Amino acid sequence: MSNAASKVVRAACPHDCPDTCAMEVTVEDGRATKIRGADDLPFTNGALCTKVAHYLERVYSDQRLLHPMKRVGRKGEGRFERISWDEALDTIAEKFAAIAADDPRAILPYSYAGTMGLVQGESMDRRFFHRLGASLLDRTICASAGAAGWKATMGASVGMDPEAIVDARLILIWGGNPVVSNLHGWRYILEAKRRGAKLVCIDPWRSQTAAKCDVHLAPWPGTDGALALAMMQVLIADGLIDRDYIDAYTVGFDALAERVQAFTPEWAAPLTGLPADTIRSLAREYGSTKPAAIRLNYGLNRCAGGATVMRSIACLPALTGAWRHPAGGALLSTSGNFPVDQQALERPDLYTAHHARAPRTINMATIGEALLAADEPPIRALYVYNSNPVAVAPNGTRVREGFLREDLFCVVHELFQTDTADYADILLPATSQLEHRDVHKAYGHLYALTNEPAIAPLGEAKPNSEVFRLLAARMGFSDAALRESDDEVAAQAFMRRDNRALGLAPETLRAKGWARLNLPRPFAPFARGNFPTPSGKCEFRSESLAQRGLDPLPHWVPPHESPVSNPALAARYPLAMISPPARNFLNTSFANLPRFLEQEGGPKLEIHPDDAAPRGIAGGERLRIGNDRGAFHAQAVVTDRVRPGLVVCPSVWWRKLSGDGENANAVTSPALTDLGGGPTFYDCLVEVEKA
């Protein structure tokens, strides 16, 4: 083999993870032979997680879809026959054109974070559906509630530099499991611990992360907002606040102080299940330790008060002046630091230029109800890409009923024949990250990355962007924006006039593979205020919420389903259930590959001995977990990692690989959060019995 036949290509991990790793792919004679984390990107530091370290098994899996197909069996059976790309595209274009002639809003795209790339995830697809006049999709399924709450206080999805956390003296890891879902960020937290920081994990479940922290506090699911309110009450009552910072850089303190007077630790204790003294001690330690950092994740926002809990926690570092230090403050997401040019990428003007009527927006979290609703116009066509809704959407029985509609024309563009793919009329083969061009922002660090195609597409696979260009041409759309190449789209990803984008020029990114945003080091974003809010200050009281007729101050939003908030339901279904990510899965990605299925060993349900004993449950037994919405089965793991009254089902399993055709979303709720329209996956009561 000559040297000319071997090369190393710069790539970016595309998956829904805050780490967004830089990767190097070794290619020999046109085949990828090795993948590794890039040494030169500080956050990646040469390492990949255990899932992506085996990414070539995903790329070259014998399960890959390699050719277009059409359905030949009943919906859900998963029986298809091979067709040509011409037949597939002609069929889709003809169906879409016929429906659009009546009302294009009867067509709905459905996508999320199967790839986080700005080219393959949110550009040509949006342009095509805007030009078509289809219904818009409100992409709420993961983070919308938390983002809405954080924005109400902070102004945008911004916070501390995660690399600066190494100098913190106290770190609250709140609602996240970074050992599994933020591994590279965890490295910086461990360095802080090595330097003497105390780690406190706040999570209903003793996760892999909680087990490695100095302290683990396990509140009831959905009650973190009560804990945050009680912490504020203690901070203010005990004088553990920075009045100079508050006076200079916040608004609404007097109203907040009056509001939280009643939210004492004694009030919060029966709601959270934490002793009042524990809550008071946590607040005092937080208020007296400098610098103190809070690392949050989106587990917190999957309950009735998902937005308000984030809003409440976001107030804490402004009360104590923690923002004065680069290692102080809080971080939910860094995504708001990236000057992404959404207008250029998505071209919403294509909608207004071609359609007089206002668009219709459908919440992806309620896709089952939307498909079964009698709304006008009813959804007659669905195009699914970058998502697997039959497995991941809540209230799964209704989702499946919706996808079973024989009059629904369904297109699925995928790498594998997922649960959702089984319901497709036309099934299209998608490229993997190694087979297409992209550019990436991040939500867990401050580096932008490029992704170069390392190998040719396998079989007849095509990237999202190419399929939408071909469909646009088939439907006679002549807009220049629908013909742009991936390189042309990538060049528009960032607002070049924004000072933060200096160094993000396409040629610069492609030469190095990555570039840090043009932000100072050390980065203390709010040491002197400058919050991206309407007032320019941290908004304890939000005038924008008030103008919408909403409570402008942090407040208590009880769970929809808990023994305290809904005792009648709890009498029938007494156990709270959460379904955090399984260590070897990422949502449903990787959940079909033999290596990871073997490591997970089948669906599990963790249950406390005090709950197992009266039900006659022993470890290893098959369980039925159910409520009024449905039921699924899992193997019992009797453990004190969960508190009494709580069960934990690591997820998300493909339904058809779970053993009974169901998964945890058979029981999750269709109810939505207080703001942001997010799902309430972790606001769920069940009963458990031996199967």
- Report H helices in 364-404: 367-372, 389-392, 396-403
* pTM of the predicted structure, to 2 decimals: 0.97
pLDDT of res. 5: 82
- Report the distance separating Cα 59 and Cα 510, nearest Å: 23
pLDDT per residue as tens digits for the range 536-592: 999 999 999 999 999 999 999 999 999 999 999 999 999 999 999 999 999 999 999
Cβ–Cβ < 8 Å for 51, 586 = yes
d(CA 641, CA 662) in angstroms, rounded, equals 25
Alpha-carbon distances of 650 from 83, 116, 593, 636, 664, rounded to whole Å: 38, 23, 17, 12, 9
Contact 644, 613 (CB under 8 A): no
pLDDT (0 to 100) of residue 119: 98
Q: Strands 409-414 and 426-429: what pairing?
A: parallel
C-alpha distances in angstroms, 641 versus 105, 204, 609, 621?
48, 9, 10, 18
Residue 2's pLDDT is what? Answer: 43
- Between CA 308 and CA 160, with CA 314 as vertex, the angle to 5 degrees is 145
Q: Which segments of the chain have a pLDDT < 50?
A: 1-2
Could you identify the residue written with the tokens 């996240």?
176
H helix and E strand count, the chain: 24, 27
Helix H or strand E segment including 605: strand 604-607
Beta sheet of 438-440, edge-to-edge order: 438-440, 447-451, 514-516
- Find all residues with CB under 8 Å of 40, minimum gap 6, and list them: 22, 512, 513, 514
C-alpha–C-alpha distance, residues 372 and 352, integer Å:
28
Distances (CA, A) of 681 to 221, 265, 481, 656: 10, 27, 38, 21
What is the model's pLDDT at position 354?
Answer: 97
Give CA–CA dist 425/406, Å, rounded.
10
Per residue in 308-346, pLDDT tens?
999 999 999 999 999 999 999 999 999 999 999 999 999
Backbone φ, ψ for residue 218 (5° rounding): -120, 85
pLDDT tens string 514-527: 999 999 999 999 99
C-alpha–C-alpha distance, residues 276 and 553, integer Å: 23
